Amino acid sequence: MNVEFINPFLSSLLNVLSTMAHTELKPGKPKIKKDEVACGDVSGLIGMVGPQTKGSFSITFDESLALTIMERMLGERPDSINEEVTDMVGEITNMVTGGAKNLLGEKGYDFDMATPIVVSGKGHTITHKSEGAKILMPFTSDAGNANIEVSFDKL
């Protein structure tokens, strides 16, 4: 898997968060993940299946960033990661992956998306178990950190 495959997810995420929540994320350096583990408080995960490949995408937020995104979208800040927050994280996961799907489709890489799953729990870690490389991309913002991770078999 080429680092290039992270870019459609990166640009889709920046676009979704600035449009929906007026939140600017600052991308860090993408890494081919070996021992490194993204750690966060609420994550959205989704599977991808296509004729050439299959894989998975995840986005992990610090609690502070997830709550701030809710506040900027709805005008009210939840006290904790409740069902509204996990719905929002599931929706962001769908939108980011959908945006990346369009961009990758233009390059001839087609896939279909499964339905998203949201994980909630202080300081959980996520490991993508595909045969391909895992690419991790960290983000910082005024309200906390996020990470995205993408893995495709056979790319």
CB 86 to a copy of itself: min, Å: 5
CB 116 to a copy of itself: min, Å: 5
Reported as type and span, the H/E element at residue 45 is strand 39-49
Reported as type and span, the H/E element at residue 54 is strand 54-61
Q: Name which of 64 and 130 has its Cβ closer to a copy of itself.
A: 130
**Backbone conformation region of residue 53, classed left if phi is above 0, alpha if psi is from -120 to 50, else beta:** beta
CB 15 to a copy of itself: min, Å: 21
CA neighbor of 62 nearest in space, from 131, 9, 141, 3: 141
Q: Name which of 103 and 113 has its Cβ closer to a copy of itself.
A: 113
Binding site for a copy of itself (CB under 8 A): 43, 45-49, 54-56, 58, 83, 86-87, 90-91, 93-94, 112-131, 151, 153
- Neighbouring CB atoms inside 10 A of 129's CB total 7
Q: Name which of 4 and 83 has its Cβ closer to a copy of itself.
A: 83
